[in-house]
Amino acid sequence: MSNVKFLSGENIPLEMHKVRMVQKVNLLPVEDRLDRMEEAGFNTFLLKNRDVFMDMLTDSGVNAMSQNQYAAMMQADDSYAGSETFYRLEATLQDIFGMEYFLPAHQGRACENIISQVLVKPGMVTVMNYHFTTTKAHITINGGTVEEIVVDEGLKITSTAPFKGDMDLDKLNESIARNGKENIAFVRIEAGTNLIGGQPVSMGNMREVSKICRSHGIPLVYDASLLGDNLYFIKVRDPEYKDVDIKTIVREITSFMDVIYFSARKLGSARGGGILVSDEKLFLRMRELIPLYEGFLTYGGMSVREMEALSVGLEETMDFDVINQTPIIVEALCNELLAKGVPVVTPPGGLGCHVDAMEFCSHVPQEEYKAGALAAAIYIASGVRCMERGTLSEQRNEDGTERFAEMELARIAVPRRVFTLSQVKYTADRINWLFKNRHLIGGLKFVEEPTMLRFFFGRLEPVGDWPEKLTEQFRKDFGESL
Ligand code: F0G
């Protein structure tokens, strides 16, 4: 969606930045990749980055920073209390979001901890378009439950719906009637809905959800971690907002919300997090917990250098040429794969390209973690590290049975402004090869299974010797090539 047209008519994503500092990456031979995957218990989180060619595990805390962000780090004020850096960040946030109160936290899940501790009481329900792993864990640890009411289209892999992260308003009304408004801790809208493929939420939907929540006095919480991507999609997919400047769009969104929180590992391309709130009483209740869990109120667990980078990063998020960089690369990667028949979530979303493991590995049973197996196979085939977003990322039911995910995805994240188009084409090439040889991929089973957020450090082993067979086939097809 860049304004630059090519004579050839091709739709080529164009980088609106240049690279001035680089990090060497290693591409190991396929046999070594197999060994490293075995050592990592077939869990891509447990790979060492030195063994990874392209780290597409996440877009979290690994985005390229601008020269202005690095420059701002030099003016950080280290004071424990009353740091000038805090006041600069607070002023930037107030200016962009138009909310009065700001609480700093060390990352997004820390915000979820504070918000859940204050708003969720045992037995209460939280209603949201879709959960995120850490969000759900914080709500359930406080005795609450999660109800997901994303529109039906949101759970379809293939679609042309522009805003698949929208909430189903009938389901929202039904949930409030069934649970009673006093039993709903909060309603949560997640921008750029992560686990269903980075799918955006429309302005119209947020407006309607807000009206319903306000008419019942239910707090509306906005997870703005993926706001940058969502803003891009509002501009390019909603004709009403095509010519509206980004800051005005943000102000309209925030006018609907009671609480906003974000992971600054995504929003603002730094590392940290924060909560914004307009109600003084709620602010005071949350504020008490910050020094307990995060740090003093003027840093909240963040390094002051990161806070300075964040202030600049947030301002840069208001620039269309900055926020369009990931979605256009995601779209290019999706298109390369779709051209070869590889099943991916459509329309392409933000944060990454999501390969549909349900279909890709249709021969692998869901209880053998097909998306986890695909993520491991992608590393062996390419040295690219991606992330399982399926049943492995779920928590077991209370009775110990498996909770099967609605979608089994291998998420190939596209960190902002990090990789070039040729690297993206390499990734697509190897996944296309893997798709041709998909019959060689088998399942996984747990060897060590943690009870909480098991996907982070659980260890697995393959069912059978499929990784060896896959490696042999790679050698046969690619000869001496890495
Ligand atoms: N909300 C959303 C929508 C997220 O994507 C994340 C993190 C969080 C909250 C938690 O923020 O990591 O700063 O504590 N997502 C990362 C990912 C981990 O890879 O998608 P955090």
Model pLDDT for residues 413-459, shown as the tens digit of each residue: 999 999 999 999 999 999 999 999 999 999 999 999 999 889 999 99
pTM (predicted TM-score): 0.96
User: 80 catalytic, yes or no?
Assistant: yes
Q: Which mutation among 132, 261, 310, 457 tests ligand 1's pocket best, with the greatest number of atoms within 8 A of CB?
A: 132
Same domain, 283 and 343: no
| Domain assignment present for 232 | yes
Q: How far is the CA of 331 from the centre of ligand 1 (A)?
A: 21
Q: What percent of the chain has pLDDT over 90?
A: 98
Does the beta carbon of 473 sit less than 6 angstroms from any atom of ligand 1?
no
| Domain assignment present for 25 | no
Last residue of a domain, one of 302, 321, 340: 321
Same domain, 336 and 317: no
Same domain, 251 and 377: no
Same domain, 188 and 265: yes
Does the beta carbon of 354 sit less than 6 angstroms from any atom of ligand 1?
no
User: 53 catalytic, yes or no?
Assistant: no
Token pair 């439950």 in the structure block, residue: 145
User: 223 catalytic, yes or no?
Assistant: yes
pLDDT digits (tens, 9 = 90+) for 181-204: 999 999 999 999 999 999 999 999
User: What is the per-residue pLDDT for 2?
Assistant: 58
Q: What is the mean pLDDT of the chain?
A: 97
Q: Residue 335 sits in which domain range?
A: 30-59+324-478
Q: What is the mean pLDDT of residues 377-405?
A: 95
Does the beta carbon of 58 sit less than 6 angstroms from any atom of ligand 1?
yes
Same domain, 144 and 280: yes
| Domain assignment present for 330 | yes
Last residue of a domain, one of 321, 352, 374: 321
Q: What is the mean pLDDT of residues 8-35?
A: 95
Q: How far is the CA of 194 from the centre of ligand 1 (A)?
A: 8
Residue 392: closest CA among 412, 376, 370: 370
| Domain assignment present for 9 | no
Q: Contact at 8 Å (CB) between 440 and 460?
A: no
**Looking at ligand 1, which atom is closest to the CA of residue 226?**
3
Same domain, 314 and 329: no
User: What is the per-residue pLDDT for 95?
Assistant: 98
Same domain, 232 and 329: no
Q: Contact at 8 Å (CB) between 373 and 444?
A: yes
Please confirm whether the linkage preceding 162 is cis (ω < 30° from 0): no
pLDDT digits (tens, 9 = 90+) for 89-148: 999 999 999 999 999 999 999 999 999 999 999 999 999 999 999 999 999 999 999 999
Same domain, 128 and 46: no
What's the CATH number where 294 sits? 3.40.640.10
Q: How many domains does the chain have?
A: 2
Same domain, 361 and 230: no
User: What is the per-residue pLDDT for 183?
Assistant: 98
Considering just the CA atoms, what is the radius of gyration of the chain in Å?
22
User: What is the per-residue pLDDT for 452?
Assistant: 86
Q: What is the 3-state secondary structure (H, E, C) of the chain?
A: CCCCCCCCCCCCCCCCCCCCCCCCCCCCCHHHHHHHHHHCCCCHHHCCHHHCCEECCCCCCCCCCCHHHHHHHCCCCCCCCCCHHHHHHHHHHHHHHCCCEEEEECCHHHHHHHHHHHHCCCCCEEEECCCCHHHHHHHHHCCCEEEECECHHHHCCCCCCCCCCCECHHHHHHHHHHHCHHHEEEEEEECCEHHHCCECCCHHHHHHHHHHHHHHCCCEEEECCCHHHHHHHHHHHCHHHCCCCHHHHHHHHHHCCCEEEEECCCCCCCCCEEEEECCHHHHHHHHCHHHHHCCCCCCCCCCHHHHHHHHHHHHHCCCHHHHCHHHHHHHHHHHHHHCCCCCECCCCCCCEEEEEHHHHCCCCCHHHCHHHHHHHHHHHHHCEECEEECHHHCCCCCCCCCCCCCCCEEEEECCCCCCCHHHHHHHHHHHHHHHHCHHHCCCEEEEECCCCCHHHHCEEEECCCHHHHHHHHHHHHHCCCC
pLDDT digits (tens, 9 = 90+) for 232-290: 999 999 999 999 999 999 999 999 999 999 999 999 999 999 999 999 999 999 999 99
pLDDT above 80: residue 3: no
| Domain assignment present for 10 | no
Residue 276: closest CA among 266, 268, 287, 265: 287
Same domain, 237 and 176: yes
Last residue of a domain, one of 321, 352, 387: 321
Same domain, 179 and 242: yes
What's the CATH number where 409 sits? 3.90.1150.10
| Domain assignment present for 15 | no
Give the span between the Cα atoms of 351 and 51, in whole angstroms.
23
pLDDT above 90: residue 320: yes
| Domain assignment present for 17 | no
| Domain assignment present for 228 | yes
Does the beta carbon of 108 sit less than 6 angstroms from any atom of ligand 1?
yes
User: What is the per-residue pLDDT for 134?
Assistant: 94
Does the beta carbon of 190 sit less than 6 angstroms from any atom of ligand 1?
yes
Does the beta carbon of 315 sit less than 6 angstroms from any atom of ligand 1?
no
Same domain, 53 and 103: no
